[in-house]
């Protein structure tokens, strides 16, 4: 009879026999390798997007599955890969760390790029995830304040919204997004900046800007630069998105910038062509819409039951000669909840941020605007559109009636007040006060007063009537009483201005 053994001994026996081996699902061999794409045989049971390991710490991403040859995109150093080398499936998709990311610069696989040592993380998350279900979402109703007056007043963004920033090259797209990140200081929003296919020097500049404005402590930069292989650029936004999801599903608020999705689409096209997929319109593969829709659908405002966290996405798309009806721009426009269109002509005419009011919309953010801003900004879009139309007609004739002249002058004053320099985000209450002064009839009368109000009103109120600003800030409203007090203060400010001018003459 077999001698009975205790559970303790049994466990010991089993533990002694245990061999620590990586979870390998399948083996295969390299058939050929070129341009960062590897073809391998074997690898039975390989999954799509599975991480594949080669000797010398080289990793690849399974992207094309076939019975006799699998297409794998290499994620790092391709120079050591040889024909006949062993390839192993890991049975896992790529995962990124979720903790210890504040103030760090990482690559899309979560490896540090800032020389500050390894990322210590208890949790990780696969980079590809399904988007939150319909029932897990709730309506966008909390503002995500960007600090740009033109945006917060006319194209407001709510937490959980996806707002596209689109424009030609060098029109201030990155600046708009980076300053929105800088404005989140002290607002409890975790920020992620994904740099795709950019020059290393450009990424460095963004890092320096964030550091100089104390924004690094709550920001993570995920970088796949132009020097990195296309597959790494391809996975970068999904990696950033997974990190931001870590914040959202824990009940926090995240803001993620994808800079930019045009370069992302190009990286995907490169990879797809090398994988011998059929090219479609503009040589992009047929699934390029799904490429961005599955990414942007992951941004959401979660319901109360799911913790009420949110992920706001600001994807950036570059256009050629202002053509927003090209393939990638129209795709992304149709996926997002609105777009901010930056126009080159306006940018060079000194209107910065160069927001084209007519073509910029925010489909859901209006309900997230504070009552105070909504009250003072409700007519702004319409008035500016009228102004732009009238300006075109005014070019043809010089004999304009006084009503038209007045309206033109008013439009010009509004355009002036919406101009804003970099690194000077404006708090909500100051935005409300400034727009109140500008849009209330009979207060600001000319351009001189406009620039004075734009530059000095906020400081004047802070010293002479701080309670007005506090009240607007705390209640988010502009009551009748506050409006009257504010009118008085603006009048005082303008009188003081006139007196100063007189004493100078």
* Residue 281 binding target from ligand ATP, Mg ion, none, CB below 5 to 8 Å by type: none
Binding mask 147-176 for ligand ATP (x = CB under 6 A): --------------------x-xxxxxxx-
DSSP letter at 338 equals E
Q: Give 314 or 372: the residue with its C-beta nearer to ligand ATP.
A: 314
Q: How many residues does the chain have?
A: 505
Q: For residues 182, 186, 191 and 197, what is the CA-based torsion angle, rounded to 10 degrees?
A: 20
Query: In the bound complex, what is the minimum distance in angstroms from residue 373's beta carbon to Mg ion?
Result: 28
Interaction residues for ligand ATP, span 246-265 (CB under 6 A):
none
Q: Give 70 or 174: the residue with its C-beta nearer to Mg ion.
A: 174
Residues 304 and 277: their CA atoms lie apart, in Å, by 43
Q: Which of 92, 363, 381, 422 is labelled catalytic?
A: 363
E strand intervals along 197-309:
219-224, 253-259
* Residue 92 binding target from ligand ATP, Mg ion, none, CB below 5 to 8 Å by type: none
Instruction: Yes or no: say if 126 and 93 are a contact pair by the CB < 8 Å rule.
Output: yes
Q: Give 260 or 429: the residue with its C-beta nearer to ligand ATP.
A: 260
Q: Rule CB under 6 A: say whether 204 interacts with ligand ATP.
A: no
Q: How many residues bind ligand ATP (CB under 6 A)?
A: 14
Strand bridging mode 164-167 / 338-342? parallel
Residues 376 and 355: their CA atoms lie apart, in Å, by 19
322 sits in the region (left: phi over 0; alpha: psi -120 to 50; else beta) called: left
3-state secondary structure of 452: helix
* Residue 442 binding target from ligand ATP, Mg ion, none, CB below 5 to 8 Å by type: none
Residues 6+ apart with CB under 8 A from 308: 138, 251, 301, 302
Q: In this structure, what token pair is assigned to residue 448?
A: 């001189």
363 belongs to the catalytic site: yes
Closest residue to Mg ion, based on beta-carbon distance: 174
Task: Give the closest residue to 57 by CA, choosing from 30, 78, 33, 35.
Answer: 78
Q: Rule CB under 6 A: say whether 374 interacts with ligand ATP.
A: no
Residues 491 and 460: their CA atoms lie apart, in Å, by 12
* Residue 246 binding target from Mg ion, ligand ATP, none, CB below 5 to 8 Å by type: none
Query: In the bound complex, what is the minimum distance in angstroms from residue 235's beta carbon to Mg ion?
Result: 20
Q: Rule CB under 5 A: say whether 174 interacts with Mg ion.
A: yes
Q: Give 262 or 489: the residue with its C-beta nearer to Mg ion.
A: 262
Active-site annotation, residues: 363
Site of interaction with Mg ion (CB under 5 A): 174
Site of interaction with ligand ATP (CB under 6 A): 167, 169-175, 318, 352-353, 420-422
């Amino acid at each position: 009879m077999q001698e009975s053994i205790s559970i303790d001994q049994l466990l010991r026996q089993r533990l002694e026999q245990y061999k620590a081996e990586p979870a390998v699902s399948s083996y295969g061999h390299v058939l050929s390798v070129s341009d960062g794409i590897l073809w391998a045989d074997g690898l039975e049971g390989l999954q799509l997007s599975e991480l594949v390991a080669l000797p010398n710490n080289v990793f690849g991403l399974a992207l094309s599955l076939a019975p006799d040859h699998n297409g794998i995109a290499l994620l790092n150093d391709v120079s050591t890969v040889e024909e006949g080398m062993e390839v192993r499936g890991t049975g896992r998709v790529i995962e990124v760390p979720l903790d210890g990311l504040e103030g760090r610069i990482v690559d899309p696989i979560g490896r540090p790029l800032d020389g500050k040592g390894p990322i210590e993380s208890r949790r990780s998350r696969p980079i590809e995830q399904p988007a939150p279900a319909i029932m897990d979402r709730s309506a966008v109703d909390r503002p995500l304040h960007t600090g740009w007056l033109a945006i917060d007043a006319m194209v407001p963004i709510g937490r959980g919204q996806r707002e596209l920033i689109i424009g030609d090259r060098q029109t201030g797209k990155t600046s708009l997004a980076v300053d929105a990140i800088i404005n989140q200081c002290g607002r409890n929003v975790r920020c992620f900046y994904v740099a795709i296919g950019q020059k290393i020097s450009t990424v460095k500049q963004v890092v320096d800007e964030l550091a100089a404005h104390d924004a690094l402590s709550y920001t993570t930069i995920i970088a796949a630069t132009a020097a990195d292989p296309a597959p790494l650029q391809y996975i970068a936004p999904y990696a950033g998105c997974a990190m931001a999801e870590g914040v959202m599903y824990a009940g926090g608020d995240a803001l993620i910038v994808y800079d930019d999705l045009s370069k992302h689409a190009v990286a995907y096209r490169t990879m797809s062509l090398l994988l011998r997929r059929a090219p479609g319109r503009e040589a992009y593969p047929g699934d390029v819409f799904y490429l961005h829709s599955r990414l942007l659908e992951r941004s959401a405002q979660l319901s109360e039951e799911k913790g009420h966290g949110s992920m706001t996405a600001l994807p950036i798309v570059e256009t050629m000669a202002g053509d927003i009806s090209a393939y990638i721009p129209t795709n992304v426009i149709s996926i997002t909840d609105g777009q901010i269109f930056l126009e080159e002509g306006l940018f060079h005419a000194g209107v910065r941020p160069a927001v084209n009011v007519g073509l910029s919309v925010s489909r859901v953010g209006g309900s997230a605007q504070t009552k105070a801003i909504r009250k003072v900004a409700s007519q702004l879009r319409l008035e500016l559109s009228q102004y732009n139309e009238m300006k075109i007609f005014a070019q043809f004739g010089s004999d304009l009636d006084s009503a038209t002249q007045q309206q033109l002058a008013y439009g010009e004053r509004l355009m002036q007040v919406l101009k804003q320099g970099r690194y000077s985000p404006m708090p909500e209450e100051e935005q409300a006060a400034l727009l109140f002064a500008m849009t209330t009839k009979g207060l600001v009368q000319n351009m001189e007063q406009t620039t004075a109000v734009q530059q000095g009103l906020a400081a004047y109120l802070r010293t002479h009537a701080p309670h007005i600003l506090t009240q607007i800030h705390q209640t988010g409203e502009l009551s009748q009483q506050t409006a009257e007090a504010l009118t008085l203060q603006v009048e005082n400010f303008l009188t003081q201005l006139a007196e100063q001018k007189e004493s100078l003459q």
